[in-house]
Amino acid sequence: MSRLAKRFEKLKNKGRAALIPYITAGDPHPEITVRLMHKIVQAGADAIELGVPFSDPMADGAVIQAAHERALKHKVNLPRVIEMVQEFRQSDTETPVVLMGYQNPIEVIGPQAFASLAAKAGVDGVLTVDLPPEEGSETLSAFEQAGLDPIFLISPTTREARIEKIARVSRGFIYYVSLKGVTGADTLDTDTIAEKLAAIRRHTNLPVGVGFGIRDAETAGKVAAVADAVVVGSAIIRLIEAKQNDQDALLNAVGELIAQMRAAVEAASDKY
């Protein structure tokens, strides 16, 4: 059983959703990334979504695009991100780590080589934003051989037939994009989210996480009442940008936000 599966099973038995913070590897400086990963785990994260810097992050809004740009200035690429995970694993062998990125850097290394390197470093899952299931046979085969969970996005406009197709190839969890548009939007309708999650769950027993638009502890709690995981990114990246010149202040601010969100997620734990 994968680390992701174990973590979700444990949380389901406890009756609460997972809290999965997103950070961009190398933002604002490469040397802080592993420290930040440990900090968010200490503050209450159940898993980590680690963004791979890319020059054209099409699914991301201005906040996370800027994070990619800051990381790229330090020449942080996919091999460096894998090294960061390996360093993180030296003292944390339990927290699941999911890489979130785009297909181009994987193609540069080659799907087989990437999957092998990532798995050996301790990566558990990979969310490749621009990889449709229909075009992913080589990459998905490489992931399967290496034991990596392929994670796919489902949006508010995804039709039921496509939900079924995505569910068949997904592992780990399914990521529901709660809003039309890019990351960092700020309007959530939890009733609509609940209806869509019900439609997704008709086709899978996998946990369903919700991201895009979760901006504070209050919205995290609301989503945790209906979802199996709460994924938060832009709210964290805004803090990182604001505190980028003071690493201790950055770590403390992010840790405080994660702790607030963890408390809100736990308060919403009566959904099962």
Kindly state the tokens that stand for 134: 């229909």
21 three-class SS: strand
Residue 180: pLDDT band (50, 70, 90) is low
* Mean pLDDT score, 158-162: 93
CATH numbers and ranges of domains, the chain: 3-267 (3.20.20.70)
Rounded to the nearest 10 degrees, what angle do helices 217-224 and 190-201 cross at?
Answer: 40
Q: State both tokens at 204.
A: 């899978």
User: Which residues are within 8 A (CB) of 4 and not within 5 positions of it... i.e. 6 or more apart?
Assistant: 47, 96, 98, 124, 125, 149, 171, 172, 173
For residue 272, pLDDT over 60 is answered with no
Q: pLDDT tier at 21 (50, 70, 90 boundaries)?
A: very high
What amino acid positions are annotated as catalytic residues? 49, 60
Q: Supply the pTM of this predicted model.
A: 0.94
